Amino acid sequence: MASNLSGIEDPMLGQTSDWIVLYNAGTTPLNLSGYYLTDHLSKPDKWSLPAGTVIEAGGYLLFWADGEAVADHTNFKLSASGESIGAFNAELDVVDSITYSE
């Protein structure tokens, strides 16, 4: 969610921030240790997911894209005018990506 002005609020910072949700459609837990998120596909290792990050089968995790770079907060923000977001594995192979517009 880019430009989250009145949606869900980050309980840690008490503010509405941009966010990214990762979903595990599989039937087993997915260990994302060593994985990365980025808002520049040419820089796949821009933000490393915290060690021990696991998404349960059928579950999801929310990451705040607010530039804070602590815990579940990425070191980048999302552009309201559109951009690409990618998830990369430890070998820096793209696992998933999406491009959105304004």
What is the separation of C-alpha 71 from the centre of its chain, rounded to a whole number of angstroms? 12
pLDDT at 54: 97
- Assess contact for 17 and 5: CB atoms under 8 A: no
Domain ranges of the chain: 19-101
Which pLDDT tens digit goes with each residue over 6-45? 567 666 666 667 889 999 999 999 999 999 999 999 999 9
Please give the model's pTM, rounded to 2 decimal places: 0.83
